[in-house]
Amino acid sequence: MLLLLSGCQNSTSKQKLYQQQLFSFGTLIDISILSNNEPLALKAFDTLSADFDLWHHDWHPWNPGPLSRTNQLLALQEPFSSAPSILPLIEQARQLSVKTDGLFNPAIGQLVRLWQFDQLENEQHTFTLPAARNIKAMLEASPTMGDIIIDGIQLHTNNPAVFLDFGAFAKGVALDRAMKKLKNLGIKNALINAGGDLKVAGKNNGRAWRIGVKSPQAAQPQLAAARQQLSVIAVIELHDGESLFTSGDYERFFEIDGTRYHHIIDPRTGYPAAQSHSVTVLAKDAGLADAASTALFIAGPEGWQKIARQLELAYVMLIAADNTVYLSQAMSERIQFLGDNKIVIKDIE
């Protein structure tokens, strides 16, 4: 949904742009580093490549690794020592879940699996609608982050329906950590773009990082190629340490009989949330921005302001199912629309 707009530069003190792509968290990750130290930039790419592999392995809900092991142990309903790579995520996710009134609920991994969103990459898989009784059973079991009891490093739950899936959150945590790594290596100016979710550091050769926000319709594969130029609906500048995350109904979905079922599940109904096309959140903390974009998407045009307030967000854009664009006051002062979209500005203070 987002792309980097390059600015023209004439300054002689211009830093060189180094770019590398890697594949992690099911998406291409573009790393851009501005530096005059080539060995350092190359070292940074190697470091981040290894880190992303590790985070992806550690935080995968069902491939063998620490999180899938955590899920197996939680199911036994006995206390166990948490893996060090998992505990901080559980703690942060728990707080975010409370502040989103449970709309961001990473404990609903079994529900996500009922919808077969673990099969989107499997071309052999034939998607079917989950049986209503299975969804009902998950709603009755009502797994929440509050069902995980934390005692020091010991974890346990009495709710066997708890199954952790950090799909709405882990990419954000990874971007926060990756940027911190770059900073520690001495890199001041960088952009990491994980399939449209991104975080920046410093500046783009003396200027703010300029990001193009694409329309959710243009992001549909059949339209994207032809409308590449027309598809940027707005431009926004990002400053040091800011992150921009989007949750949309157009990126991960399957279709049955012409109806689209996307991957953002309303924990109150057990079905894909229907009120929004996309939500974009700008915040410093990428983990927060990631979880928030998912929660506000579910909250929809009626409920997003309350959740945004609870999360202390300032910058939100929600494109509703009817294509009305809702902007927080602060977002409206920063984002520049290029077309004549129907825009409604709301206060979340």
**Cβ neighbours for 249, distance < 8 A, ≥ 6 positions apart:** 216, 260, 262, 264, 272, 276, 277, 278, 297
The 152-171 site mask, x for binding ligand ADP (CB under 6 A), equals -------------x-xx--x
The first and second tokens of residue 178, run together, are: 């990756």
Q: Which of 18, 52, 59, 117 binds ligand ADP (CB under 6 A)?
A: 117
- Binding status of residue 106 toward ligand ADP by CB under 6 A: yes
Name the binder of 112 from Mg ion, ligand ADP, none, CB < 5-8 A by kind.
Answer: ligand ADP
The string of DSSP codes covering 184-246 is HHT--EEEEEETTEEEEES-BTTBPEEEEEEPTTTTSHHHHTTTTTTTEEEEEEE-TT-EEEE
Q: Which is nearer to ligand ADP, 174 or 187 (CB)?
A: 174
Stretch that binds ligand ADP, among 35-43, 44-52, 221-229, 262-270 (CB under 6 A): 262-270
Select from 3-11, 12-20, 212-220, 247-255 the region that touches Mg ion (CB under 5 A): 247-255
- The letter for the amino acid at 323 is N
> How far out from the chain centre does Cα 294 lie?
7
Residue 174 touches Mg ion, criterion: CB under 5 A: no
Taking the C-alpha atoms of residue 122 and residue 309, their distance in angstroms, rounded to an integer, is: 39
User: In the set 93, 103, 114, 168, which binds Mg ion (CB under 5 A)?
Assistant: 168
- Closest to 307 in 3D by CA, of 97, 80, 136, 42: 97
CB of 103 to Mg ion, least distance (A): 11
Q: Which stretch binds Mg ion (CB under 5 A): 45-53, 145-153, 184-192, 283-291?
A: 283-291
Work out whether 251 is an interface residue with ligand ADP (CB under 6 A).
yes
Q: Applying CB under 6 A, does 216 fall inside the site for ligand ADP?
A: no
Q: Which is nearer to ligand ADP, 70 or 105 (CB)?
A: 105
**Rounded (10°) angle between helices 87-99 and 170-185:** 120
Distances (CA, A) of 69 to 107, 139, 150, 300: 15, 24, 17, 34
In the complex, what is the shortest distance from the CB of residue 247 to ligand ADP, in angstroms, rounded to a whole number? 3
DSSP assignments along 19-69, one per residue: EEEEEETTEEEEEEEEES-HHHHHHHHHHHHHHHHHHHHHT-SSSSSHHHH
Number of chain residues interacting with ligand ADP (CB under 6 A): 22
Q: CA-CA distance, 45 to 52, in Å (whole number)? A: 10
Rounded-to-integer distance, Cα 262 and Cα 28, Å: 20
Q: Decide if residue 290 touches Mg ion (CB under 5 A).
A: yes
| The two three-digit tokens of residue 14, written as one number | 């211009």
Q: Is 242 in the site for ligand ADP (CB under 6 A)?
A: no
Single out the residue of 71, 82, 280, 294 in contact with Mg ion (rule: CB under 5 A).
294
Pick one of 34, 135, 264, 311: the residue that binds ligand ADP (CB under 6 A).
264
Q: Which stretch binds ligand ADP (CB under 6 A): 7-15, 52-60, 139-147, 245-253?
A: 245-253
- Pairwise CA distance, residues 330 & 125, whole Å: 44
AA identity, residue 2: L
* 89 versus 264: smaller Cβ distance to ligand ADP: 264
Give the one entry of ligand ADP, Mg ion, none that residue 288 binds, where binding means its C-beta sits below a cut-off of 5 to 8 angstroms depending on kind: none
Can residue 165 be called a binding residue for Mg ion (CB under 5 A)? Answer: no
CB-CB neighbours of 202 under 10 Å: 20
- Using CB under 6 A, list all residues that contact ligand ADP: 103-106, 108, 112, 117, 165, 167-168, 171, 197, 247, 251-252, 263-265, 267, 290, 294, 298
